[in-house]
Structure 1
């Protein structure tokens, strides 16, 4: 009995099944649907939140200038984030059945670059403006509390912002990157197979 097995030869002899092109387009359509749905939900939530904040400002007429500046910063954070985020909608809409594999790949790479900018630079700016705005906004109301409850209020608010920044944000970013990277890898594999056949 010969125990000398050549694993390199076995590895070379295995057949690699090509990615199913219909399955790939199905995943691409799913990616487009999920991305557009997420974009719409984000728009609705942030616009509704901004309208609610403006309603509170109008109804309760804050006295401190810090409260008004805080409201403006919070709304500014949401508006800036939405302006940049909504630019992705154009990229999602251009993913249709008329493109070839190379064009799909280029679109996905562009989406990945835009998402990276959104998830790093824009999300950082969003959290800085939002955190600063909330701290300024809460000052008027915590000023009326005892020192203990004022500290507790700020601790809870900053704790939630920290939890969102350090736990939820990286988790969501990784999920988005994995979805795009998976599609890019599959389209690259298909393109390599087509090139090999030429």
Structure 2
């Protein structure tokens, strides 16, 4: 029994070094990059859909108040600007092939990470303030057509949603994306190390 305990203790102390080939690691990293590109592309598509919806509303609906036109102009402008920023960041991770230009891709990934940090911090607050201002101008005319209860619900739901997105949802997205991109950068650095250093 004592021999068994010694063997078990030895086994628990023994650490197995798992060697993952550069090829396997590259396949995993490429899969994660494709997921990142897909998520980024879906964000762009969502922003474009919002842009088109607001532009269609502006074109096909008749508004009497100048405030409504100002509100829609602000909303369309900020959504358009944000969409261009998202597209610029998407190009960073989509245009370079890691296998052909590993260092350039790694630099692009680090720039992407930095851009995302700016996007979710200072640029996000600019976006939220501009969007809120646009909604306020838009609501000046629109709320006149609603009952008091409908007005209260529209204001509560709209600004409640903005508050939820600005706090809880934003923090969760920042944390998840930061971990994901950092892990991806680490993987590509290890792959670069394995490719440049012969085993």
TM over 0.5: yes
Tell me the equivalent position of 2:48. 47
TM-score (norm 2): 0.78
TM-score by length of 1: 0.79
How do 1:142-161 residues align onto structure 2 when only pairs under 5 Å count? 142-161=143-162
Whether contact under 8 Å (2:68, 2:140) holds in the other structure is: yes
Task: Say whether residues 1:185 and 2:177 are aligned partners.
Answer: no
Matched residues in 2 for 1:27 and 1:181: separation? 14
Q: CA deviation at 1:76?
A: 1.0
Deviations 1:109-151 (A, max 9, x none): 2221122122222222222221221222122121233444322
Moved more, 161-170 or 139-148: 139-148
Structure 2 residue 98 is matched with structure 1 residue 96: yes
Q: State how far apart, in whole Å, the 1-side matches of 2:126 and 2:54 are.
A: 20
Counterpart CA distance in 2 for 1:34 and 1:167 is 23
Shift in Å, 1:194: 7.7
Cα distance in 1 between the residues matched to 2:55 and 2:188: 46
Q: CA RMSD in A?
A: 2.8
* Unpaired runs of at least 5, structure 2: 3-11
Q: 186-195 vs 134-143, which deviates more?
A: 186-195
Is the counterpart of residue 68 in structure 1 residue 69 in structure 2?
yes
Q: What SS does the aligned partner of 2:145 have?
A: coil
- 1:77·1:130 contact (CA, 8 Å) conserved in 2? yes
Q: How many residues align?
A: 188
Structure 2: distance between partners of 1:118 and 1:18? 37
